[in-house]
Chains A and B, each alone.
Chain A
């Protein structure tokens, strides 16, 4: 049985942890709001650029571009978006579990990974999975700069023929308590985007359709990656908020039960002292 002193110490420690959880929960809630706004703000551009892409590929069917053409897949790069930091509930583990399933489900050496976030990098390295590139020390907000950099490097790998397909695995933010692991094809572009759109055939292209197409593709890819980063970040903050909320609640319950034990122990000590006093007094009579 723990002594009264130990119990008091534990109660104090648990209470201060509870305060930390509460602070982290509130910080995550504030960041979530901002991240959500950013994720939503990227919507109109993404929508428009997809529409333009499908217009263009509809208007001029003979358009060709290496980024737009599927080829035989020998090597796949899996981009997974995780966080730099933990304490975010199942946020990181869920992405990593999906990634691991993907890696195990394909022949050895046919899938390599490109990791965003320190948690993902460390996890995969520790388990000896191939990590082609890793981006860590992420900025606190979804960064277009980072999205451009990653897209450029992936595009280069793809054009050089080092990978024949790029998939992207990230956490889609549904609402504050629901998240969904999402897998999408990133390169070649068009595997799931060349849907039939309202094509304005007969549009004037300047300088010409090919040139615009070539300019459009990398921007489309960047927008897609940026959206995935922004979406993931919102998911991360929401996961952290929920995890910290339940940690705070659990700490509260622990404090309550410890306090109860402490009171019982204290009462027992008092009762014992009284009975000893009474016993002593009786003996003196």
Chain B
């Protein structure tokens, strides 16, 4: 089983997703990037685009985000999105 980490997706209005994932792909301001478990601490800006996550177990989830931030620290990833749909 692949190593996992915690992902939470937050907007100013509500918390959209909280869960354990294996892999996240996000629209960074410098291009799409992927994050696996135990990624080095990272803070980056996001542009609008689609955010994908492979949940623990293999299921995929997808959201549209419109800008925001992405942070990884201590094997915990947080997306602070301006808006999510």
Contacts and interface: CB of A to CB of B under 8 A. Distances in A.
B29 A52 contact: no
A53 B28 CA distance: 19
B12 A45 contact: yes
B30 A207 contact: yes
Q: Sorted from nearest, which 3 A-B pairs have the closest CB atoms?
A: A203-B41, A206-B44, A41-B14
A268 to B, nearest CB: 64
Contacts of A202: 41
A52 B69 contact: yes
Interface string B21-51: 0000000111000000000111111000000
| Interface majority SS (helix, strand, loop, mixed), chain B | strand
A200 B12 CA distance: 23
Interface residues of B, number: 24
Contacts of B40: 203-204
Given A202-B41, A204-B41, 14 more contacts: A41-B13, A41-B14, A45-B11, A48-B80, A49-B69, A52-B43, A200-B41, A203-B40, A206-B30, A212-B43, A212-B45, A212-B69, A219-B12, A219-B80
Interface in A208-254: 211-212, 215-216, 219, 222-223, 226
Contacts of A206: 28-30, 42-45
Contacts of B42: 203-206
Interface string B44-78: 11000000000000000000000011010110001
Nearest to B14: A41
Nearest to A56: B43
A44 interface: yes
B41 A216 contact: no
Contacts of B15: 41, 44-45
B8 interface: yes
Nearest to B13: A144
Interface in A48-64: 48-49, 52, 55-56
Nearest to B28: A206
A211 B69 CA distance: 11
Contacts of A55: 43
